[in-house]
C-alpha cells in the first residue's frame, strides 16, 4: 500500500477526514481559494451575526469601526465583514471611509 506523503507536514494534519471537509476541499478547488477561506458548514448563523452587529451599532449611537464592533460583539472580523455586507445590501448600514472604515446605521436600520 502506498502512502501519500507531502513535503509539507501541515497538509496531512489539516487534511479533511470527513465528508464535510472533503466537500469544502472540492469547493476550494473549484473556486481557487484555500479551504480555510470558505465558510465552514457548521459555522455561526449569518442572521445571528447581523443581529449582533445591528444591536451593537444601535447601542453605540454612532458609527463604529470594525474593531469596535468586534470588541462589542465578540464576533470575528470575517463574520463582521460578512454581516456588514449583508446589511449594506439590505440598506440597513453604510460603510464610511476615512482613516479607518466605520459602519453606520442608515435610516432603514435605526432602532426605534
> What pLDDT does residue 8 have?
54
pLDDT value of residue 98: 85
Output the pLDDT for position 2: 55
Which numeric CATH code is attached to 46-109?
1.10.10.10
Cell of 2: 502506498
pLDDT at 71: 94
Domain boundaries, the chain: 1-40, 46-109
Average pLDDT for residues 67-78, to the nearest whole number?
94
Give me the chain's average pLDDT, please. 76
Higher pLDDT, 35 or 29: 29
Q: What pLDDT sits at residue 66?
A: 94
Q: Say how many residues make up the chain.
A: 112
Amino acid at each position: 500500500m502506498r502512502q501519500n506523503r507531502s513535503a509539507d507536514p501541515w497538509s496531512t494534519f489539516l487534511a479533511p477526514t470527513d465528508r464535510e471537509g472533503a466537500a469544502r476541499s472540492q469547493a476550494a478547488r473549484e473556486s481557487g481559494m484555500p479551504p480555510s477561506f470558505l465558510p465552514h458548514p457548521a459555522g455561526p448563523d449569518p442572521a445571528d451575526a447581523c443581529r449582533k452587529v445591528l444591536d451593537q451599532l444601535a447601542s453605540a449611537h454612532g458609527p463604529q469601526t470594525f474593531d469596535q464592533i468586534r470588541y462589542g460583539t465578540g464576533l470575528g472580523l470575517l463574520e463582521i465583514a460578512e454581516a456588514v455586507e449583508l446589511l449594506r445590501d439590505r440598506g440597513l448600514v453604510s460603510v464610511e471611509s476615512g482613516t479607518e472604515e466605520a459602519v453606520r446605521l442608515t435610516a432603514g436600520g435605526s432602532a426605534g
